[in-house]
Amino acid sequence: MRLMVSKSTNVIIIGAGPAGIACAIQLKRYNIDYIVFEKHEMGGLLKNANLVENYPGFPNGISGNKFVQLLKKQTRNNKINIKLETVENVEWAKDTFNIKTNINVYHSKYLVIASGTKPFVPKVPVICDDVKKMVFFEIYKLGQIKNKDIAIIGAGDCAFDYALNLCVNNKVIILNRGNQIKALPILQDRVSKVAKIKYFDNTVVQEIGTIDKQLKLILKNADESILVDYLIIAIGRKPNLDFIDTNLLINPYVFQIGDVKNGQFRQTAIAVGDGTFTAMNIYSILNNK
Protein backbone atom coordinates (compact mmCIF):
# COMPACT_ATOMS: atom_id res chain seq x y z
CA MET A 1 0.00 0.00 0.00
CA ARG A 2 1.43 3.36 -1.02
CA LEU A 3 1.45 6.29 1.36
CA MET A 4 -0.63 9.25 0.21
CA VAL A 5 0.68 12.67 1.19
CA SER A 6 -1.77 15.58 1.02
CA LYS A 7 -0.41 18.80 -0.52
CA SER A 8 -2.05 22.14 -1.33
CA THR A 9 -1.42 24.85 -3.92
CA ASN A 10 -3.29 27.69 -5.63
CA VAL A 11 -3.41 26.22 -9.13
CA ILE A 12 -3.03 22.73 -10.50
CA ILE A 13 -2.28 22.29 -14.20
CA ILE A 14 -2.85 18.88 -15.78
CA GLY A 15 -0.59 18.46 -18.81
CA ALA A 16 2.85 19.77 -19.78
CA GLY A 17 2.32 20.55 -23.44
CA PRO A 18 2.71 24.07 -24.85
CA ALA A 19 -0.55 25.24 -23.22
CA GLY A 20 0.25 23.94 -19.76
CA ILE A 21 3.85 25.20 -19.85
CA ALA A 22 2.79 28.67 -21.05
CA CYS A 23 0.27 28.86 -18.21
CA ALA A 24 2.87 27.80 -15.63
CA ILE A 25 5.45 30.32 -16.87
CA GLN A 26 2.96 33.17 -16.59
CA LEU A 27 1.72 32.05 -13.16
CA LYS A 28 5.30 32.05 -11.91
CA ARG A 29 5.75 35.60 -13.20
CA TYR A 30 2.80 36.54 -10.97
CA ASN A 31 4.27 34.60 -8.04
CA ILE A 32 1.18 32.38 -7.90
CA ASP A 33 1.77 28.90 -6.48
CA TYR A 34 1.06 26.08 -8.96
CA ILE A 35 1.94 22.48 -9.80
CA VAL A 36 2.07 20.96 -13.30
CA PHE A 37 1.34 17.25 -13.67
CA GLU A 38 2.56 15.26 -16.68
CA LYS A 39 2.07 11.51 -16.94
CA HIS A 40 4.53 10.81 -19.75
CA GLU A 41 6.90 13.35 -21.24
CA MET A 42 6.39 17.07 -21.70
CA GLY A 43 5.62 18.46 -25.14
CA GLY A 44 2.29 16.83 -25.96
CA LEU A 45 1.62 16.07 -29.63
CA LEU A 46 4.33 18.57 -30.57
CA LYS A 47 6.86 15.72 -30.20
CA ASN A 48 5.46 14.19 -33.40
CA ALA A 49 5.46 17.28 -35.61
CA ASN A 50 7.64 17.23 -38.70
CA LEU A 51 7.84 21.02 -39.00
CA VAL A 52 6.19 23.86 -37.09
CA GLU A 53 5.98 26.69 -39.61
CA ASN A 54 3.30 29.04 -38.30
CA TYR A 55 4.76 29.89 -34.89
CA PRO A 56 6.17 33.45 -34.92
CA GLY A 57 9.88 33.83 -34.31
CA PHE A 58 11.05 30.84 -36.36
CA PRO A 59 11.32 32.18 -39.94
CA ASN A 60 12.48 28.82 -41.31
CA GLY A 61 10.18 26.74 -39.15
CA ILE A 62 11.33 24.34 -36.46
CA SER A 63 10.89 20.61 -36.00
CA GLY A 64 8.54 19.50 -33.26
CA ASN A 65 11.35 17.69 -31.45
CA LYS A 66 13.60 20.78 -31.43
CA PHE A 67 10.70 22.91 -30.22
CA VAL A 68 10.14 20.50 -27.32
CA GLN A 69 13.85 20.62 -26.42
CA LEU A 70 13.60 24.43 -26.25
CA LEU A 71 10.51 24.11 -24.04
CA LYS A 72 12.42 21.79 -21.71
CA LYS A 73 15.31 24.23 -21.53
CA GLN A 74 12.94 27.08 -20.75
CA THR A 75 11.24 25.10 -17.96
CA ARG A 76 14.64 24.32 -16.45
CA ASN A 77 15.80 27.93 -16.69
CA ASN A 78 12.58 29.13 -15.06
CA LYS A 79 12.49 26.26 -12.54
CA ILE A 80 8.96 25.35 -13.54
CA ASN A 81 7.43 22.90 -11.07
CA ILE A 82 6.57 19.77 -13.08
CA LYS A 83 5.74 16.48 -11.40
CA LEU A 84 5.77 13.26 -13.42
CA GLU A 85 2.61 11.84 -11.92
CA THR A 86 -0.58 10.52 -13.47
CA VAL A 87 -3.80 12.24 -12.45
CA GLU A 88 -6.29 9.48 -11.70
CA ASN A 89 -9.28 11.37 -10.33
CA VAL A 90 -10.56 14.90 -9.69
CA GLU A 91 -13.26 15.78 -7.18
CA TRP A 92 -14.75 19.07 -5.96
CA ALA A 93 -15.76 19.60 -2.33
CA LYS A 94 -15.96 22.63 -0.03
CA ASP A 95 -14.70 25.03 -2.71
CA THR A 96 -11.57 22.92 -3.25
CA PHE A 97 -10.39 20.57 -5.97
CA ASN A 98 -9.09 17.26 -4.67
CA ILE A 99 -6.72 15.73 -7.20
CA LYS A 100 -5.56 12.17 -6.72
CA THR A 101 -2.49 11.04 -8.65
CA ASN A 102 -0.74 7.68 -8.72
CA ILE A 103 1.50 8.98 -5.90
CA ASN A 104 -0.18 11.68 -3.80
CA VAL A 105 -3.35 13.66 -3.13
CA TYR A 106 -3.33 17.40 -3.90
CA HIS A 107 -5.71 20.28 -3.25
CA SER A 108 -6.16 23.51 -5.18
CA LYS A 109 -8.50 26.45 -5.62
CA TYR A 110 -8.18 26.49 -9.42
CA LEU A 111 -7.83 23.67 -11.92
CA VAL A 112 -6.33 24.13 -15.40
CA ILE A 113 -6.90 21.21 -17.76
CA ALA A 114 -4.24 21.06 -20.48
CA SER A 115 -4.39 17.31 -20.94
CA GLY A 116 -4.58 17.37 -24.73
CA THR A 117 -6.20 14.63 -26.76
CA LYS A 118 -6.16 10.89 -27.16
CA PRO A 119 -6.49 8.97 -30.43
CA PHE A 120 -9.61 7.41 -31.82
CA VAL A 121 -9.15 3.65 -31.77
CA PRO A 122 -11.07 2.04 -34.66
CA LYS A 123 -13.17 -1.09 -34.20
CA VAL A 124 -11.90 -2.31 -37.57
CA PRO A 125 -9.28 -3.55 -37.89
CA VAL A 126 -9.26 -5.32 -34.55
CA ILE A 127 -5.90 -4.76 -32.87
CA CYS A 128 -4.99 -8.03 -31.17
CA ASP A 129 -2.50 -8.23 -28.32
CA ASP A 130 0.11 -10.01 -30.43
CA VAL A 131 0.38 -7.08 -32.87
CA LYS A 132 -0.01 -4.12 -30.49
CA LYS A 133 3.74 -3.66 -30.18
CA MET A 134 3.87 -2.87 -33.92
CA VAL A 135 0.81 -0.57 -34.00
CA PHE A 136 1.19 3.07 -32.95
CA PHE A 137 -1.01 6.17 -32.69
CA GLU A 138 1.90 8.62 -32.44
CA ILE A 139 5.36 8.46 -33.99
CA TYR A 140 7.82 10.04 -31.56
CA LYS A 141 8.87 6.58 -30.34
CA LEU A 142 9.74 5.61 -33.94
CA GLY A 143 12.05 8.52 -34.59
CA GLN A 144 15.22 6.44 -34.78
CA ILE A 145 14.02 3.55 -36.97
CA LYS A 146 15.54 3.08 -40.43
CA ASN A 147 14.94 1.00 -43.54
CA LYS A 148 11.46 -0.10 -42.52
CA ASP A 149 8.14 -0.31 -44.35
CA ILE A 150 5.46 1.71 -42.58
CA ALA A 151 1.72 2.04 -43.27
CA ILE A 152 -0.33 4.98 -42.01
CA ILE A 153 -4.12 4.82 -41.88
CA GLY A 154 -5.58 8.31 -42.20
CA ALA A 155 -5.91 11.27 -44.55
CA GLY A 156 -5.66 14.32 -42.32
CA ASP A 157 -2.85 16.62 -41.26
CA CYS A 158 -1.43 14.13 -38.76
CA ALA A 159 -1.26 11.28 -41.25
CA PHE A 160 0.51 13.34 -43.90
CA ASP A 161 2.81 15.03 -41.39
CA TYR A 162 3.75 11.66 -39.88
CA ALA A 163 4.56 10.37 -43.37
CA LEU A 164 6.88 13.31 -44.06
CA ASN A 165 8.62 12.74 -40.74
CA LEU A 166 9.16 9.01 -41.23
CA CYS A 167 10.04 8.96 -44.94
CA VAL A 168 13.52 10.36 -44.31
CA ASN A 169 14.80 6.90 -43.41
CA ASN A 170 11.93 4.61 -44.37
CA LYS A 171 9.32 3.77 -47.02
CA VAL A 172 5.79 4.91 -46.17
CA ILE A 173 2.35 4.21 -47.58
CA ILE A 174 -0.71 6.30 -46.66
CA LEU A 175 -3.99 4.39 -46.67
CA ASN A 176 -7.11 6.55 -46.97
CA ARG A 177 -10.28 4.66 -46.08
CA GLY A 178 -12.25 6.99 -48.38
CA ASN A 179 -11.34 9.24 -51.27
CA GLN A 180 -11.32 12.66 -49.61
CA ILE A 181 -8.04 14.07 -48.32
CA LYS A 182 -8.40 16.36 -45.30
CA ALA A 183 -4.73 17.33 -44.95
CA LEU A 184 -3.55 20.86 -45.63
CA PRO A 185 -2.78 21.52 -49.32
CA ILE A 186 0.86 22.28 -48.46
CA LEU A 187 1.22 18.85 -46.83
CA GLN A 188 -0.44 17.14 -49.80
CA ASP A 189 1.94 18.91 -52.17
CA ARG A 190 5.01 17.88 -50.18
CA VAL A 191 3.90 14.26 -49.91
CA SER A 192 3.27 14.09 -53.67
CA LYS A 193 6.91 15.07 -54.30
CA VAL A 194 8.44 12.34 -52.11
CA ALA A 195 9.17 9.12 -53.96
CA LYS A 196 9.33 7.09 -50.75
CA ILE A 197 5.71 7.96 -49.88
CA LYS A 198 2.88 6.24 -51.70
CA TYR A 199 -0.77 7.22 -51.31
CA PHE A 200 -3.81 4.97 -51.84
CA ASP A 201 -7.46 5.93 -51.42
CA ASN A 202 -10.51 3.72 -50.85
CA THR A 203 -8.28 1.28 -48.99
CA VAL A 204 -9.81 -0.27 -45.87
CA VAL A 205 -7.76 -2.57 -43.65
CA GLN A 206 -10.14 -5.28 -42.49
CA GLU A 207 -7.78 -7.52 -40.54
CA ILE A 208 -4.25 -7.47 -39.18
CA GLY A 209 -2.17 -10.60 -39.10
CA THR A 210 1.53 -11.39 -38.85
CA ILE A 211 3.91 -13.21 -41.12
CA ASP A 212 7.68 -13.51 -40.80
CA LYS A 213 7.78 -10.85 -38.04
CA GLN A 214 5.87 -8.36 -40.20
CA LEU A 215 2.31 -7.12 -40.10
CA LYS A 216 0.00 -8.48 -42.77
CA LEU A 217 -2.72 -5.95 -43.55
CA ILE A 218 -5.67 -7.74 -45.13
CA LEU A 219 -7.77 -5.34 -47.19
CA LYS A 220 -11.55 -5.28 -47.45
CA ASN A 221 -12.96 -6.38 -50.80
CA ALA A 222 -9.50 -7.17 -52.12
CA ASP A 223 -7.61 -10.37 -52.74
CA GLU A 224 -4.27 -8.85 -51.89
CA SER A 225 -2.63 -7.84 -48.63
CA ILE A 226 0.13 -5.44 -47.58
CA LEU A 227 3.22 -6.36 -45.57
CA VAL A 228 4.74 -3.69 -43.33
CA ASP A 229 6.96 -3.47 -40.28
CA TYR A 230 4.81 -0.92 -38.46
CA LEU A 231 1.27 0.43 -38.67
CA ILE A 232 0.31 3.92 -37.53
CA ILE A 233 -3.35 4.83 -37.05
CA ALA A 234 -4.10 8.54 -37.42
CA ILE A 235 -7.84 8.81 -37.98
CA GLY A 236 -8.64 11.53 -35.47
CA ARG A 237 -8.39 12.48 -31.81
CA LYS A 238 -10.75 13.36 -28.96
CA PRO A 239 -10.36 15.27 -25.66
CA ASN A 240 -8.46 13.43 -22.96
CA LEU A 241 -10.77 13.80 -19.96
CA ASP A 242 -10.82 10.30 -18.47
CA PHE A 243 -9.80 11.58 -15.03
CA ILE A 244 -12.71 13.98 -14.45
CA ASP A 245 -16.51 13.92 -14.35
CA THR A 246 -17.59 16.07 -17.27
CA ASN A 247 -20.14 17.79 -15.01
CA LEU A 248 -17.20 19.47 -13.29
CA LEU A 249 -16.13 21.16 -16.51
CA ILE A 250 -18.74 23.88 -16.02
CA ASN A 251 -17.25 24.80 -12.64
CA PRO A 252 -16.12 28.47 -12.88
CA TYR A 253 -12.77 27.56 -11.33
CA VAL A 254 -12.01 25.03 -14.09
CA PHE A 255 -10.16 26.25 -17.16
CA GLN A 256 -9.64 24.10 -20.26
CA ILE A 257 -6.78 25.19 -22.49
CA GLY A 258 -5.06 23.97 -25.64
CA ASP A 259 -6.00 20.92 -27.67
CA VAL A 260 -8.35 19.49 -25.04
CA LYS A 261 -10.91 22.21 -25.90
CA ASN A 262 -9.95 23.38 -29.39
CA GLY A 263 -11.19 20.49 -31.53
CA GLN A 264 -9.69 20.60 -35.01
CA PHE A 265 -7.85 23.85 -34.21
CA ARG A 266 -4.84 22.08 -32.73
CA GLN A 267 -2.09 24.63 -33.17
CA THR A 268 0.87 25.42 -30.94
CA ALA A 269 0.32 29.17 -31.20
CA ILE A 270 -3.32 28.82 -30.07
CA ALA A 271 -2.34 26.55 -27.18
CA VAL A 272 0.34 28.97 -25.95
CA GLY A 273 -2.10 31.87 -26.14
CA ASP A 274 -4.68 29.87 -24.19
CA GLY A 275 -2.16 29.13 -21.45
CA THR A 276 -0.94 32.71 -21.05
CA PHE A 277 -4.47 34.14 -21.17
CA THR A 278 -5.70 31.71 -18.51
CA ALA A 279 -2.84 32.53 -16.13
CA MET A 280 -3.60 36.24 -16.54
CA ASN A 281 -7.28 35.53 -15.94
CA ILE A 282 -6.55 33.65 -12.71
CA TYR A 283 -4.32 36.51 -11.54
CA SER A 284 -7.13 38.94 -12.26
CA ILE A 285 -9.64 36.85 -10.30
CA LEU A 286 -7.28 36.52 -7.34
CA ASN A 287 -6.88 40.27 -7.25
CA ASN A 288 -10.60 40.94 -7.74
CA LYS A 289 -10.01 42.96 -10.88
Q: What are the tens digits of pLDDT across the range 251-280?
A: 999 999 999 999 889 999 999 999 999 999
The domains spanning 6-118+238-286 and 121-233 adopt the same CATH topology: yes
Mean pLDDT of the chain: 94
Domain boundaries, the chain: 6-118+238-286, 121-233
pLDDT value for 161: 96
Q: What are the tens digits of pLDDT across the range 16-61?
A: 999 999 999 999 999 999 999 999 899 999 999 999 999 999 999 9
Residue 288: pLDDT above 90? Answer: no
Q: What is the DSSP string of 186-211?
A: HHHHHHHT-TTEEEESS--EEEEEEE
pLDDT value for 279: 98
pLDDT value for 125: 87
Q: What are the tens digits of pLDDT across the range 107-129?
A: 999 999 999 999 999 988 888 88
Domain range 121-233, CATH class:
alpha beta
Q: What gap in Å lies between CA 186 and CA 231, rounded to an integer? A: 24
> Which stretches of the chain are DSSP H helices?
18-29, 64-77, 157-166, 185-192, 259-262, 268-286
pLDDT value for 74: 97
Fold of domain 6-118+238-286: FAD/NAD(P)-binding domain (3.50.50)
pLDDT value for 69: 96
CA angle 28, 41, 248 (to 5 degrees): 65
Residue 151: pLDDT above 70? Answer: yes
Q: What gap in Å lies between CA 180 and CA 63, rounded to an integer? A: 27
